[in-house]
Every structure is written in C-alpha cells, then in structure tokens.
Amino acid sequence: MTTTFDIPKTSRAAVLTKHSEPLEIREIPVPQTLEPGALLVRIEAATVCGSDLHLWDGSLGGSQALDLPVIPGHEMVGKVIAFGDGAERDTFGTPLEIGDRICFTHASCNQCDHCRFDNQPTLCTNRQYYMFTNCERPPYLVGGFAEYAYVFPNSGRVRVPDEVETSWASAASCALRTVVHSFERIGKMNPWETVVIQGAGPLGLFATALADHLGAGRIITIGAPDNRLAIAKQYGATDLVSVAEHPEPEDRITAVRDLLGGHGAEVVFEFSGARTAFTEGLGMIKEGGRYMVTGQIDGPGKEVPVRPGFITRQQLTIMGTWSGHIAEYRKALEFMKNTHGKYDFGALVPNRYRLDQATEALTRMRAQEDIKPMLVPHGTEGI
Ligand SMILES: [Zn+2]
Ligand SMILES: [Zn+2]
C-alpha cells in the first residue's frame, strides 16, 4: 500500500533535450504509485552544481550513460509528500513525516562489490543517477530542476536538521558532502600543517571552512574573483592567492611557495576543475605530502602531462574522491548545524531563480556572475 497526500498529476520541469540549447519547460507525469522504499518530494530548492554545467554542454566525463532528454540537477532539498511502503524513516532511522525536508542521494545498488565488499558505494557499478536518467520513462521525475522529484528506493535519505536553512542544505547535498568525503579520505589535518585549496568556488569555499574548523594551521585558498576570496577569508583562509593577480600556473606555485618560505604544503586539495590544476597542484606539495583531486570531471581527451618520477621521488600520496554517500550528506548537514553561527553559508547561495529561469541560472554560473544559483520551483517562501 502507498500512502498518498495530494499527489499532483503533472510537474513542471526544466528539461535538457539538446546540449548547449536552452532548457525546455515541460509538464512531466508524476508517478501516482510508489515502489516500496520510494518517496515523492516537492522540490523546495535545487542549487546548480558545476556538473550541471558540464551536463548541459556535453563535456561531463564518467562511466554513467546519459539518456536525453533529462532533468538536470542533483543537488536539492525536497519536502516529503508521499511514502512508498517502508519509507517512513530516513536512512539513519529518524522518523519522516509529510512535510519534512530531506536530502537524498543517487541510488547505489547495495549488491555489487563496491557496495558490499569495498564499502565505496559511490563507485557502485549499477548506480541510478539523477540528471542522467531519461525523463520520458517512469519514474519520470529524476532530476532536481522540477517541481517534484522521485526518490529512488535505494537512494539514501536524511532529514534536514531544523537549524539548517533549506538553501544551505541544498548546497550541502552535492558540494559540501563531496568536500566532507574528500576530507575523510585524505585523513587528519594538524595545527602545524598547511593546507592549500585550489579553487574558490562552492567546494573550495566549503573546504576552507572545514579545514578551518578542523584546526589546520595555515590555509591558503587560491581562486577568483575577489568577492569569492572575501568569502574564503570569512571562512578562515589565512592567506589568499588571486588567480586574477597571478594568471599563470607558475606564478601561483611561486606565490604559494613564497608564503611558505620556499616549501610546499602538507596537504593540497584540488577543487577548481581547471585544466592545468593538477600539474599546478603538484608544484605546491611538500615532499611526503598528500594531494586530493576532487574537481576534475573532464572525460577522455583532457589529458595533461605528468612526470611520474616526481611523485615517486617526492613520495607523494595522491587520491581522488567522487561524489558522496548518505553518511557524508548527514555529516555535511551536522557540520552546518554546528557551525552556522561561525560561517555565513548563505553567502554561497545569494540568488534565487524560477524554474523558467534555469537556463539563465546556468549561463550566469558559467560566466562566474553567480557563485551557486538556486532554483526555487515553488517560490521563495520559507527558503
Ligand atoms: Zn554535483
Ligand atoms: Zn552497487
């Protein structure tokens, strides 16, 4: 049996039918019955991720198939409006009620080796992805840029704490959870160590705050434009390196090493997504240091030159992080709950857009005129 509460017949959605073309507003059917474990949610906010830009222009790499037309968006907060059987609790056992806000994950299968053996469910070989799945077949509502969304039975879901604003929670549900996952993988940071953060977009800024809260001794955030560097400062960066003032990678390496008396940093995070960032970051690491590569999502044909002997001789640890699973979503939300008086998370999501402004939101983000646009399909009330 499915518990239903005023399920609408259709939902407006901003649909990607052709790469780099304006998104098309369509009326999409709303599933009237839910599979066991599924939920139906009303999208309160859907923030735009860098991956949405790459999805839009067709440059997104990865193993997952893209089946157009799709509804972009995988970073969102929904209010529960209907339960499938057995879905009345979140992944952690917290009871869910109609109207509760949740964040939810892509769906890992819980059966493949990555899910069951390696404990790395973001590598699941059968993962159901929002925004890659065709929206003309059931369950139709498989992306964030819509009035309603279908939560897959295998999607992790977590109730958003009351202290966390909807706009922050939306930004947490890809950007911050990915940063949390990166920090978990790279390991401990100490008060006597320096952290370099490449990129002052949402991931780089969240990482700056997290490194600050964890007690890293020195935090050097690299990016542009200046208003983002100002947020980095507010989030705890001890030093800033402006890409506008240092347009060449070699200049930025020199700027970082000048700050550190000629040395490199113990930990470097790559969150910029820039083509040259990986080789550049290698130049900023101290011998024996650690490098986390999280921002690089380009596909084949985007290779860069690397001298492997440098990694050997410097005894570097280099790792990657892809996406996040439900535990990282919850940790991201708990971090926001505990630190919202310390960091102004609202600074990352200053602007709201209607669904029919989705193309404008993408365009402005690509032009760096907006840091993280937020779609509000039902208006701004309560957001
Ligand atoms: Zn994302
Ligand atoms: Zn799996």
Is the domain of 25 the same as that of 81?
Answer: yes
Residue 299 above 90 pLDDT?
Answer: no
**Residue 110 CA: which ligand is closest?**
2
Q: Looking at the structure, do residues 70 and 189 belong to the same domain, yes or no?
A: no
Residue 167 resides in a domain? no
Q: What is the CATH number of the domain that holds 82?
A: 3.90.180.10
Quick one: pLDDT at residue 220? Answer: 99
Number of domains comprising the chain: 2
Could you tell me if residue 380 is inside a domain?
no
Write out pLDDT tens, residues 16-58: 999 999 999 999 999 999 999 999 999 999 999 999 999 999 8
Nearest to 91 by CA among 271, 280, 330: 330
Which tokens sit at 74? 């995988």
Statement to judge: residues 293 and 224 lie in one domain: yes
Span of 39-48, 54-63, 304-313, 351-360 with lowest mean pLDDT: 54-63
Would you state the pLDDT for residue 61? Answer: 67
What confidence tier does 298 reach under pLDDT thresholds 50, 70, 90?
A: confident
CA of 273 to the centre of ligand 2 (A): 27
> Does a structural domain hold residue 247?
yes
Q: How far is the CA of 265 from the centre of ligand 1 (A)?
A: 27
CATH number at residue 291: 3.40.50.720
Question: What is residue 298's three-state secondary structure?
Answer: strand
Q: How far is the CA of 191 from the centre of ligand 1 (A)?
A: 30
Tell me the CA–centroid distance for residue 47 and ligand 1, in Å: 9
Is residue 59 over pLDDT 70? Answer: yes
What are φ and ψ of residue 15, in 5° steps? -110, 135
| Cross-strand pairs, 13 | 26, 146
50 lies in some domain? yes
Position 344 in a domain? no
C-alpha of residue 107 to centroid of ligand 2, in Å: 9
Give me 149's structure tokens.
Answer: 């969304």
The answer, yes or no, to whether residue 207 has pLDDT greater than 90, is yes
Q: Is 106 found in the same domain as 56?
A: yes
Say if residues 270 and 293 touch (Cβ distance below 8 Å): yes
Query: Under DSSP, is residue 293 helix (H, G, I), strand (E, B) or coil?
Result: strand
pLDDT of residue 382: 75
Q: Are residues 35 and 78 in the same domain?
A: yes
Which ligand is closest to the CA of 112, given by its number?
Answer: 2
Both 368 and 249 in a single domain?
no
pLDDT single digits (tens) 363-373: 999 999 999 99
Question: Domain range for residue 227?
Answer: 178-320
**Does 265 share its domain with 368?**
no
Helices and strands (H, E) in the chain, number of each type: 11, 16
- DSSP letter (8 states) at residue 346: G
CA–centroid distance, 123 to ligand 2, in Å, is 7
State the pLDDT at residue 1: 44
Which ligand has an atom closest to residue 114 CA?
2
Measured in angstroms, how far is the CA atom of residue 177 from the centroid of ligand 2?
19
- The rounded Å distance from CA 74 to ligand 1 centre is 6
Ligand at shortest distance from the CA of 131: 1
pTM of the model as a whole:
0.95
Mean pLDDT across 84-88? 97
Residue 188's alpha-carbon distances to 46, 135, 268, in angstroms, are: 32, 42, 13
175 CA to centre of ligand 1 in angstroms: 6
339 lies in some domain: no
How does strand 352-353 pair with strand 317-320?
unpaired
* DSSP H stretches of helix in the chain: 50-57, 113-116, 166-171, 177-186, 202-214, 226-234, 249-259, 277-282, 308-314, 326-339, 358-366
> Same domain, yes or no, for 246 and 309?
yes
Same domain, 291 and 362: no
User: What's the gap in Å between 111 CA and the centre of ligand 2?
Assistant: 5
CA of 266 to the centre of ligand 1 (A): 27
- For residue 34, being part of any structural domain is answered with yes
> Could you tell me the distance, in angstroms and rounded to a whole number, from the CA of residue 324 to the centre of ligand 1?
9
DSSP-assigned letters across all residues of 105-141 = EEE--S-SHHHHTSS-GGG-TT-B-TTTS-SSSTT--
Q: Same domain for 182 and 316? A: yes
Q: Are residues 9 and 129 in the same domain?
A: yes
* pLDDT digit string, tens, across residues 132-185: 999 999 999 999 999 999 999 999 999 999 999 999 999 999 999 999 999 999
Where does a domain end: 275, 302, 320?
A: 320
**Would you state the structure tokens that stand for residue 139, as one six-digit string?**
């369950």
Q: Let me know if residue 371 belongs to a domain.
A: yes
Q: Average the pLDDT over 295-303 and give the result.
A: 83
* Among 320, 340, 367, residue at a domain's last position: 320
What's the 302 CA to ligand 1 centre distance in angstroms?
A: 20
Give pLDDT, residue 60: 81
**Domain-ending residue, one of 320, 341, 362:** 320
Residues 233 and 118 in one domain: no
